[in-house]
């Protein structure tokens, strides 16, 4: 695939042109209101975009909204009519996806397309060009390198921008990305000297790879064999089950379906994000709960990511973005927990040394 470059001024002009053509632009930008946190949101132009700060919310909410209408109904006397919800999506571009967030989209594709195709998800996927910007290596909570990704990973992105002086080096990673670039080629220049881009990527990789690297295969095996283990009870003493980790996770996709009456004549069925950390998640109407305690519920989160999803879809349900660790009010750090599991696995698997996880 091609390598090109784009100057900041040209990128700004390109975004203006896209917006004029009716393309929705989603990018990291400050949210309005209290806190003004950086989130992925619809922006009006280049000047809104904040680069180099990992957004607090993930990109998933633009593909699987926190709450969306999936059905409507209208009633009148004995008459009842179901109103189909539209799954259409207008053309969009994400500019400045973090590589961990772009990769998450492709990871979640697997379950959304499993036998029954979720058109809400895939119509948004198809309508959206994803441009990621290479990450500078992240912070102490990041662990993309441990789950098979890197600050420069292009997974899930149609194009990858690498910051250089005055603009970006552009790597095209998909056929769709190539077609899009050709459509707008007047804004792009020849790739030129790649020294700066290479140096940026090397710096990022060095920073990220200095952090521990637990061995995911042996963790997977340990999880398979230790469904019942004191470790889960210990975690339950720390986790208070708020579920914030699942809300900020780019790969958590569990949802609830809820009817919301809107007056006596009609209403909407909505799909809302849900969390496996809530007791009601699995509670039967009879009162029986297969996961009655927090230990069982935290175990489910770890298992879903590092055992169940790999067993069913051959990949980890985690891109190492580190948001779960940053947001946890009781300081549970995913990289630390994976390290603990790695260490327990190393007792049963002597080939996995406890030291190995700290070797870059």
Partner 1 sequence: MNIYQPTLMRIESVCDETPDTRTLRLVFKDPAMAERFSFKAGQFGEYSVLGHGESTLCIASSPTRTGYIECTFKKVGKLTSALHQLGPDDLIGFRGPYGNHFPLDKMHGANLLFIAGGIGLAPVRCVIWNVLDQRDRFGNISILYGARSVSDLVYKKELAQWAGMPHLRLWQTVDPGGETADWTGLVGFVPTVLQQVAPSSDDTFAVICGPPIMIRFTLPVLQSLGFPPERIYTTLENRMKCGLGKCGRCNIGSVYVCKDGPVFNAAQLQDLPPDM
- Which CB atom, from 145 or from 271, has the smaller least distance to partner 1? 271
Q: What number of chain residues touch partner 1 (CB under 8 A)?
A: 51
Contact between 116 and partner 1 (CB under 8 A)?
Answer: yes
d(CA 343, CA 320): 19
Q: Which of 36, 66, 74 is nearest to 266 (CA)?
A: 74
- Which CB atom, from 56 or from 269, has the smaller least distance to partner 1? 269
3-state secondary structure 329-344: CCCCCHHHHHHHHHHH
Contact between 117 and partner 1 (CB under 8 A)?
Answer: yes
> In the stretch 183-222, what mask flags binding to partner 1 with x, by CB under 8 A?
----------------------------------------
169 touches 2 (CB < 8 A): no
155 touches 102 (CB < 8 A): yes
For residues 341, 342, 348, 354, the Cα torsion angle rounded to the nearest 10 degrees is: -130
- Which CB atom, from 50 or from 283, has the smaller least distance to partner 1? 283
Max Cα-Cα span within the chain: 72
Neighbour-count burial of 256, counting CB atoms closer than 10 A to its CB (0-12 exposed, 13-18 middle, 19+ buried): middle
3-state secondary structure 23-72: CEEEEEEECCCCCCCEEEEECCCHHHECCCCCCCCCHHHHCCCCEEEEEE
- Which CB atom, from 36 or from 114, has the smaller least distance to partner 1? 114
- Which CB atom, from 10 or from 256, has the smaller least distance to partner 1? 256
| Phi-psi domain of 295 (left: phi exceeds 0; alpha: psi -120 through 50; beta: other) | alpha
**Window contacting partner 1 (CB under 8 A); options: 65-73, 92-100, 131-139, 336-344:** 65-73
> In the stretch 292-331, what mask flags binding to partner 1 with x, by CB under 8 A?
----x---x--xx--xx--xx-------------------
* Residues in 233-292 that interact with partner 1 by CB under 8 A: 253-259, 261, 267, 269, 271, 274, 276, 281-286, 288, 290-291
347, two tokens: 């007792």
Shortest separation between residue 280's beta carbon and partner 1, angstroms: 9
Single out the residue of 63, 120, 231, 232 in contact with partner 1 (rule: CB under 8 A).
120
Chain residues that interact with partner 1, rule: CB under 8 A: 70-71, 73, 75, 78, 80, 82, 84-85, 87, 111-112, 114-120, 227-228, 253-259, 261, 267, 269, 271, 274, 276, 281-286, 288, 290-291, 296, 300, 303-304, 307-308, 311-312
């Amino acid at each position: 695939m091609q390598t090109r470059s784009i100057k900041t001024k040209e990128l700004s002009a390109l975004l203006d042109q896209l917006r004029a053509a009716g393309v929705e632009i989603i990018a990291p930008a400050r949210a309005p209101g209290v806190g003004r946190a950086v989130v992925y949101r619809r922006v009006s132009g280049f000047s809104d975009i904040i680069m180099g700060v990992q957004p607090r919310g993930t990109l998933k909410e633009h593909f699987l909204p926190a709450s969306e209408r999936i059905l409507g109904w209208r009633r009148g006397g004995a008459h009842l009519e179901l109103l189909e919800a539209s799954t259409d999506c207008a053309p969009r571009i994400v500019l400045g996806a973090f590589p961990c967030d772009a990769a998450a989209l492709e990871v979640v594709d697997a379950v959304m397309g499993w036998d029954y195709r979720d058109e809400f998800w895939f119509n948004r996927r198809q309508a959206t060009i994803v441009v990621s910007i290479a990450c500078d290596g992240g912070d102490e909570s990041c662990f993309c390198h441990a789950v098979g990704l890197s600050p420069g990973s292009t997974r899930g992105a149609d194009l990858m921008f690498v910051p250089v002086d005055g603009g970006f080096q552009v790597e095209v990673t998909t056929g769709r990305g190539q077609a899009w670039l050709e459509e707008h080629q007047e804004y792009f220049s020849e790739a030129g000297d790649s020294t700066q881009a290479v140096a940026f990527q090397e710096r990022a990789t060095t920073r990220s790879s200095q952090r521990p690297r637990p061995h995911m295969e042996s963790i997977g095996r340990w999880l398979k064999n230790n469904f019942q283990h004191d470790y889960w009870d210990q975690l339950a003493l720390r986790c208070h089950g708020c579920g914030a980790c699942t809300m900020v996770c780019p790969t958590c996709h569990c949802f609830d379906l809820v009817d919301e009456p809107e007056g006596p004549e009609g209403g909407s069925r909505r799909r809302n994000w849900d969390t496996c950390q809530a007791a009601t998640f699995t509670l039967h109407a009879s009162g029986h709960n297969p996961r009655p305690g927090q230990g069982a519920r935290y175990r489910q989160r770890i298992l879903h990511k590092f055992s169940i999803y790999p067993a069913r879809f051959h990949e980890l349900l985690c891109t190492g973005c580190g948001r779960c660790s940053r947001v946890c009010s009781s300081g549970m750090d995913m990289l630390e927990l994976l390290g603990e599991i790695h260490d327990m696995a190393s007792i049963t698997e002597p080939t996995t040394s406890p030291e190995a996880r700290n070797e870059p």
